[in-house]
Structure 1
């Protein structure tokens, strides 16, 4: 794989470096008060090449022959300005300061919507998380999401550990994750939101509860769609981060486009490594002496190393007659993870680990006005093969000091009676193959009204094997299959001449077939066990938004949603200590949202926005992780009957003169068990209890201060502080047990950072300190996360 990696990197670099005979002008236009000059026209007089500044006042002019030019800038808010400049390097950075015009233009109103604002005001409860402010920091995409109102990321440990996404109280596979609309499961766990650096991501869209049909999946509790950067012109950048627990993270991104032919080549790569040897302590971290006495210790995790790497290469054409975009791509990723303990920290492992290798081929096609005006087509297809191995062959018993145990003092290390740390000795192989086809056909049939058809077909096959199993068992076929089809039909309309009222009506139909064949031993006799099951469900919904005033938008949405069991829940996953649960039923839920978006309000140097959302979820047969027993090494999933969840999330943002900005997000998810009687007519003891092992109140606060021209001309230094609060919650039902019930304690964590961009905008340096007060941090009961940690990151833009 290493030689393959080097070859791809060299290919990307060589293709991009071939174009360096021309220069690139990267600039920003702002007013003297710090406000960006939006929609200003920037033109090189001699070449008649022009660009329009974006919402940040930034612009780019590519493919400029070396020479001297006159740059003209025109804005409705200022007098025209001319500058003389020379393009004599491959990249020229420029910052232009305009003086506002003294002429009153009260009769002229220039308005527009950013991509983020447009997404967040379509009627669905959705947050668009942009990465530009954290791309230079040592921050993962999951950390960005965790700072979003209504979203809670629950991680079982350090880098590479299992992650669950919670959106307004709905979690697990009820929340679907996509990369550019393609289900994340196709990529394998080594290519995920934990491993992909923010520099590769343009934005992350978070749909809360009601999910539009264009994502074409059974996302009952919400969806997360990660939109990767798609540089339209030549670019090349890289970054490297180093920090606590011997953590290293590197990435490279490059793109090339030939203007005449439209040929596009894009590539990226990343590598992650961490020993994850942070310290843990508490009532689950102890050693037992030869006298049987328990001694609690502060121990270092000694068997939790994580490594992952990945490459993606896309080639095709953009902005040609027959396609807006046509790409054929290849994704390669691999990783390995040492396993420190079972489902809780009670049982310590010293030799158990897992490996995986994933290859994915993909094809993307987009075209507007195909065959006729108003007919748009999007097609994404992928096929992947994943090899996953779990290795557990050593039976020695370890303690939290990282040494084998010899309790009886006979000079022999104690061993697990089962033959290995997690059960029977295993070298289990689980080769998996998947294919996915997702298509959208949209037709604008009358003015501002369109009809869309969406289809998702996905297939999953796993053929597990274990060389350590008896040969008699291996002779039986062992295969698991899961097929899913999702159909969606959407009618979208904009009403009125100004389009201030938007509506979206949609219907979804789901089909799933599960098949299993495996060896089963009954009374000492082996036989083939066959199991199959089919599910057919339907759902529908609507979303509306109304722009009451230019700055105030009201939104509401509702859906009868369905979520089918996923392969990991049904078939289990040994590497993640998950048992199978074949009889899981689909989840069904009635979801509703009512929200508003106010902003951005401006007065002088101040800007303010406020958005809020009330939600209602009435869910039947909710699929959730069963609570593992005190000494359990594995867990399974189960249906939780009826759950009623009500709550709200709100976000307030403030900006002062583009120097100081702050965001405060508050979320409350009041999810309660709502089934009163069991099948025998007896009332459940925990009827009306909050949902167990689930956070219900969070606060996230971010404050950034930007210092322009502070350390050097045209440079930018950013100081940041983040505070995250999660209120304590019970591990099990509140009505069960007496005093001293197991709880996940209150979390109050503070991160700080400083980032400096040099004057030429090529080089950026950052220093980040996480959990600076070294608080004991948990997302899940008895699974401690890292304490205080420091990271340094350098980012360099070559093109």
Structure 2
């Protein structure tokens, strides 16, 4: 059956099917010219002015000028002249008449004059896409990366700065990580790139591989996820958006730093506006020795296994390398499509392990893994009057190799001895192994949004995910892992209705999702006999979002969802390294609620202030949790877990000169299961172990001068605090003797210098400035002080 499914002709048909469907209805719509208006806002001394609103009267479109005074309003459909208006605190409102010239994009610059601020005018100005998303009923943070692209940072480091998000890593670059969102973590949070799910993409395409200058925004949905993402997310979703531009550009970055770290990226596009086509290449490379110093690690005698004390030593077998190339070609502004593209992605990595991800007692000197991912995808976008359609299809193959073939034993002192010839053990497994796991994936999605009128909107979505997994061990002849293919298939259907009254003060949206899940799982029992199980797990979810503007400064929002999260392939099938299979694993379901308050005002002529406060509750049944058993483990269901908490933050900004951001999160995640297999649960009402419950971030930035000719100099200071938490259940044993992950306080400094209006950029970053010993997991240290230098060239 599986071989038939993946025959080339049928596979190609499945990829093209969503586009065949939507292409059949293109006769119902007419193509109209779409133009982009962009420009720059400056004062009489030619200094850029950020934070001013530029909008088009009557078209409900606009943007806000960024730190460089630049703005861009895209996808403007108009056959007649219109007025472009700009206004903001402390400046006179201006308006210019714009006459579209066919499909030619326009540049409109403004020189602002000081003047009185008319509050009534400010209420009708256009907003950036990011600000419009923040004002929806969803509990969503939008992280804009335009001020971070010159810095030596990746997506994970950016996400760590937002409220409600905590990321724990097991080492340096390329190490395993666990992202928690309002107390829910792992696969309870879904990840997307431009709306395409990243599930089972392979270890070389994880978030900590992507440098920040390859992306534009990061959308963080907490608890309630829109149907457009087609996600079975229990705790929320993270959607990474890249820039879609109808012009040529080139963005090249390179970072070098501590621990022999090198990171490079190239993001370039050639676009022909007259003929309506583009070709784009996106790529990155990463390498690090990860040879940072470890303190107080245990040393064991290799002959007898006796403990000989703790030592300080540098890591020796932690190198990591990865690379990705994505090539995309497409058309835009055609009668049959606003945008249609085909892309090919290839990524690779190699990761050396010095120890398991959950302890440091066992030391490796050869154990490593490799990944090889190949993906082919297509996307389609088209608006037919009131109907907007988007679709994609993706197919590919992901190969993960786990190589444990060494006959040597190692310790932290770098010593090694060879095992006896009759000893078949590897460094991790009872038998030496070279396991290759192959996933074949096919995904497709389609969304349609129909705007009935300015008050009513309907939407529908379809998302499908098919994965088949097989494996071969080239060394262990007795291994049966994944020798018989297993597969899982997941389909999610969604529908929503949104009502917006004429006053625009409030809005409500209701939605429903249907989850369909089936599969065939093949495992082995204790006698190495194959056991085949068919699974069929389907259910329904539903929810709503609402928002209300109370006056000019306050916005209230509320959202609710009965969410489901279906088991992932590595949770139910195992991963061939540390995770054992569990075909009995059930889907998680949760009742998620959010209440939020946003406040925005201008304190004085040049000061802006905004703040957010949110409370949340997650009541989850059949909660999926990883249960460690030595270096290995298995995912299991916990009957009932409740997560409650509060998070808040603020931003204060003085023109483009200085800014301060801060946020904090408190979360209480407890086991609400009263009975466990008929017996009283001794952990009832106890905090789930090994999960942080209080953390906070702050970031201060200052720009001493900002001149196009002389350059732009910026300094940033960031700090992060995580309060201590127990490794095991809090109510078992004595608090004085239990293992604790200690409180963490770290500081980072960054300096950035740009020339020629952002064409040439240089930055210097110092992470963990005070060289503290920091942990995300028990006794597994993260890097100490690290220094990175980055250069970036931007041509657009």
Same structural fold, with TM-score higher than 0.5 when normalized by the shorter chain: yes
Give the Cα separation in 1 of the matches to 2:745 and 2:66. Answer: 34
Does the CA-based 8 Å contact 1:29-1:53 persist in structure 2? no
Tell me the residue number matched to 1:453: 460
Q: Tell me the TM-score normalized by structure 2.
A: 0.86
Give secondary structure in 2 for the equivalent of 1:117.
helix
Q: Map 1:66-77; keep pairs closer than 5 Å.
A: 77=91
Give how far 1:192 is off. 2.4
Does the CA-based 8 Å contact 2:193-2:241 persist in structure 1? yes
Give the Cα separation in 2 of the matches to 1:285 and 1:119. Answer: 50
C-alpha distance 160-389 of structure 1, shift in aligned 2 (>3 A): same
Q: Does 1:517 align with 2:530?
A: no
Give how far 1:95 is off. 9.9
Give the Cα separation in 1 of the matches to 2:422 and 2:721. Answer: 40
Give the Cα separation in 2 of the matches to 1:641 and 1:241. Answer: 46
Does the CA-based 8 Å contact 1:280-1:301 persist in structure 2? yes
Tell me the residue number matched to 1:442: 449
Between 1:222-231 and 1:290-299, the stretch displaced more is 290-299
Give secondary structure in 2 for the equivalent of 1:297.
strand
The partner residue of 1:134 within 126, 131, 148 is 148
C-alpha distance 100-273 of structure 1, shift in aligned 2 (>3 A): same
Q: Map 1:306-705; keep pairs closer than 5 Å.
A: 306-342=320-356, 343-369=358-384, 373-405=385-417, 417-423=423-429, 424-470=431-477, 477-495=483-501, 497-518=502-523, 522=527, 527-575=529-577, 577-628=578-629, 632-680=630-678, 682-705=679-702
Give the Cα separation in 1 of the matches to 2:526 and 2:675. Answer: 37
Give secondary structure in 2 for the equivalent of 1:517.
strand
Q: Map 1:12-51; keep pairs closer than 5 Å.
A: 27-30=40-43, 35-36=49-50, 38=52
Tell me the residue number matched to 1:69: none
Q: Map 1:764-775; keep pairs closer than 5 Å.
A: 764-775=761-772
Tell me the residue number matched to 1:238: 252
Tell me the residue number matched to 2:759: 762
Give secondary structure in 1 for the equivalent of 2:228.
helix
Give how far 1:232 is off. 2.3
Give how far 1:114 is off. 2.0
Give how far 1:105 is off. 6.3
Question: C-alpha deviations, 1:62-100, integer Å up to 9, x for none?
Answer: 9xxxxxxxxxx9966459899xxxxxxxxxx99986432
Q: Does 1:783 align with 2:788?
A: no
Give how far 1:491 is off. 0.8
C-alpha distance 61-548 of structure 1, shift in aligned 2 (>3 A): closer
Give the Cα separation in 2 of the matches to 1:114 and 1:595. Answer: 21
Give the Cα separation in 1 of the matches to 2:44 and 2:557. Answer: 34
Give the Cα separation in 2 of the matches to 1:718 and 1:326. Answer: 39
Give how far 1:55 is off. 4.8
Gaps of 5+ in 2: 1-36, 57-61, 75-83, 97-106
Tell me the residue number matched to 2:4: none
Give secondary structure in 2 for the equivalent of 1:550.
coil
Give how far 1:550 is off. 2.4
C-alpha distance 79-38 of structure 1, shift in aligned 2 (>3 A): closer
C-alpha distance 81-717 of structure 1, shift in aligned 2 (>3 A): farther
Q: Tell me the TM-score normalized by structure 1.
A: 0.86
Does the CA-based 8 Å contact 1:708-1:717 persist in structure 2? yes
C-alpha distance 61-344 of structure 1, shift in aligned 2 (>3 A): closer
Give how far 1:106 is off. 7.4
C-alpha distance 380-80 of structure 1, shift in aligned 2 (>3 A): closer
C-alpha distance 677-527 of structure 1, shift in aligned 2 (>3 A): closer
Does the CA-based 8 Å contact 2:41-2:49 persist in structure 1? no
Question: C-alpha deviations, 1:603-652, integer Å up to 9, x for none?
Answer: 22211001110001111111112144xxx221221112211111111011
Give secondary structure in 2 for the equivalent of 1:723.
strand
Question: C-alpha deviations, 1:382-437, integer Å up to 9, x for none?
Answer: 011112111111121100122214xxxxxx66799552011111111111110101
Tell me the residue number matched to 1:12: none
Give the Cα separation in 2 of the matches to 1:25 and 1:214. Answer: 28
Give the Cα separation in 2 of the matches to 1:127 and 1:527. Answer: 49
Give the Cα separation in 2 of the matches to 1:80 and 1:382. Answer: 47
Give the Cα separation in 2 of the matches to 1:104 and 1:433. Answer: 59
Give how far 1:27 is off. 4.8
Give secondary structure in 1 for the equivalent of 2:675.
coil
Give the Cα separation in 2 of the matches to 1:53 and 1:443. Answer: 27
Taking only aligned residues, the RMSD between alpha carbons, in angstroms, comes to 2.9
Tell me the residue number matched to 1:70: none
Does the CA-based 8 Å contact 2:40-2:48 persist in structure 1? no
Give secondary structure in 2 for the equivalent of 1:118.
helix
Does the CA-based 8 Å contact 2:38-2:70 persist in structure 1? no
Give how far 1:257 is off. 1.5
Tell me the residue number matched to 2:272: 258
Does the CA-based 8 Å contact 1:397-1:421 persist in structure 2? yes
Question: C-alpha deviations, 1:325-370, integer Å up to 9, x for none?
Answer: 111111111111111112311111111111111111111001112x
Give the Cα separation in 2 of the matches to 1:132 and 1:119. Answer: 17
C-alpha distance 95-678 of structure 1, shift in aligned 2 (>3 A): same
Give the Cα separation in 2 of the matches to 1:499 and 1:376. Answer: 22
C-alpha distance 52-139 of structure 1, shift in aligned 2 (>3 A): closer
Give how far 1:519 is off. 5.5
Give how far 1:529 is off. 2.3
Give the Cα separation in 2 of the matches to 1:132 and 1:254. Answer: 17
Between 1:716-725 and 1:669-678, the stretch displaced more is 669-678
Between 1:303-312 and 1:460-469, the stretch displaced more is 460-469
Give how far 1:473 is off. 5.7
Question: C-alpha deviations, 1:766-793, integer Å up to 9, x for none?
Answer: 0000011111111122322111100000
C-alpha distance 31-658 of structure 1, shift in aligned 2 (>3 A): farther
Does the CA-based 8 Å contact 1:95-1:714 persist in structure 2? no
Give how far 1:29 is off. 2.4
Give the Cα separation in 2 of the matches to 1:578 and 1:217. Answer: 24
Does the CA-based 8 Å contact 1:79-1:100 persist in structure 2? no
Q: Does 1:288 align with 2:301?
A: yes
The partner residue of 1:150 within 164, 167, 180 is 164
Does the CA-based 8 Å contact 1:31-1:100 persist in structure 2? no
Give the Cα separation in 1 of the matches to 2:643 and 2:754. Answer: 44
Tell me the residue number matched to 1:15: none
Gaps of 5+ in 1: 1-23, 43-50, 63-72, 83-92, 406-411
Give the Cα separation in 2 of the matches to 1:758 and 1:770. Answer: 25
Give secondary structure in 1 for the equivalent of 2:373.
strand
Give how far 1:719 is off. 0.5
